[in-house]
Amino acid sequence: MTSHTPPGKGRLARALVALAALLATASAAGPAAAADGTLRIITFGAHPDDCELDAGGVAAKWAALGHKFKCVSVTNGDIGHAVTAGGPLALRRRAESRRAARILGIETEVLDNHDGELMVTLENRRQIARLIRDWQADVVISHRPNDYHPDHRYTGVLVMDAAYMVQVPFFTPEIPPLTHNPVFLFSEDGFKKPNPFSGDIVVAIDDVVDKKLAVVEAMESQFYEGGCCDVPAGGMPADAAGKEARRKQVHDFFASRFAATADRFRSRLAEWYGAEPAAGIKSAEAFEICEYGRQPTKEEIRRLFPFFPAR
């Protein structure tokens, strides 16, 4: 035996030194919220319009306070229309996402996966984990895995599968791991089986609801034109009065939908805002805490959602 280090062990030692340097860098970068108070939130929706509908209100509120919010559409939405499809529709929907991002003051990215064909693959899990790490996310939001559309379900599974793994050093080691497991949240839905959505965190969005309604108007392929499957009865209006009536119909539909969340979770709003203020809240967004991310205390929720009144 000699004290000479075999070539294989030398490589191992160098790899360990490199890993230690990598971890030191990651640690120095740290969770941004801990360093300067800036919160970093990333939301994954299956299609260009999901993230905006699910979290556009809180996105605008975080952005107004100087925090960083990113919308990611996991597919490009290229079959989400009744009469057009393919590349031109994907480009149109990406442009709509960018318009929405400008209205809300956030960043946006549309991944080039085909609409209706998203699968739970290792490569897609890696891609989601890389995006969460790259954003240095404190909070990650996505669909629940029991949702009506396969792309929604699989987006939910992919994001759940990235939870915890984002801090495992040798998973996608080309991007430094997070030093913490973010808080993972699900956006609201109405599905009941195997379990209904639980509104753990409910935020009033009355102060930004006009922005959210402007986003609805900006994403005209989906809402004004009805996307793939909600074309207005009788077809698209051709005259000015018909167009204005359609615009108002879409506006009123979504204003009621945002109000329905406040009504659904009125008692939960009372817990966060107090009974009297909660009674006057018209519109809200709701989120459920995923068990696979960090489990925040009430105090941490107040830090991550700096919108609630001091109690």
Smallest separation, CB 222 to Zn ion (Å): 9
74 touching Zn ion, by CB under 5 A: no
- Closest to Zn ion by CB, 138 vs 151, is 151
Contact 191, 144 (CB under 8 A): yes
Residue closest to Zn ion (Cβ): 47
Stretch in the footprint of Zn ion (CB under 5 A) among 26-34, 45-53, 179-187, 293-301: 45-53
The residue from 40, 47, 143, 212 that contacts Zn ion (CB under 5 A) is: 47
- Among the listed residues 50, 161, 225, 288, the single contact to Zn ion using CB under 5 A: 50
Should residue 225 be labelled a site residue for Zn ion when binding is judged by CB under 5 A? Answer: no
Nearer to Zn ion, 229 or 241 (CB): 229
Question: How many residues bind to Zn ion according to rule CB under 5 A?
Answer: 3
**Nearest-approach distance from CB 262 to Zn ion, in angstroms:** 22
CB-count burial class (<10 Å; 0-12, 13-18, 19+) for 95: middle
**Least spacing, CB of residue 46 vs Zn ion, in Å:** 4
Single out the residue of 161, 114, 154, 138 nearest to residue 43, CA to CA.
Answer: 138
State the CB neighbour count (10 A cutoff) for residue 38: 16
Applying CB under 5 A, which of residues 33, 41, 42, 46 lies at the interface with Zn ion? 46
Three-state helix/strand/coil letters over 162-220: HCCHHHCCCCCCCCCCCCCCCEEEEECCCCCCCCCCCCCEEEECHHHHHHHHHHHHHCC
- Output the smallest distance, CB 270 to Zn ion, in A: 31
- Smallest gap from residue 99 Cβ to Zn ion (A): 18
User: Smallest distance from the beta carbon of 50 to Zn ion, in angstroms?
Assistant: 4
Q: Which residues pair with 204 in a beta bridge?
A: 284
Task: Give least dist CB 219 to Zn ion, A.
Answer: 12
305 Cβ partners below 8 Å, 6+ apart? 58, 201, 203
Give the residue with the Cβ less far from Zn ion, 172 or 222.
Answer: 222
Tell which positions 79-138 bind Zn ion, by CB under 5 A.
none
Q: Does 153 bind Zn ion (CB under 5 A)?
A: no
Residue 54 contacts Zn ion per CB under 5 A? no
**Which one, 47 or 68, has the nearer CB to Zn ion?**
47
In this chain, which stretch among 46-54, 124-132, 225-233, 253-261 interacts with Zn ion, using CB under 5 A? 46-54
Least distance from Zn ion to the Cβ atom of residue 107, Å: 19
Q: 50 vs 52, which CB is nearer to Zn ion?
A: 50
201 touches Zn ion by CB under 5 A: no
Shortest distance, CB of residue 147 to Zn ion, whole angstroms?
9
Contacts to Zn ion by CB under 5 A = 46-47, 50
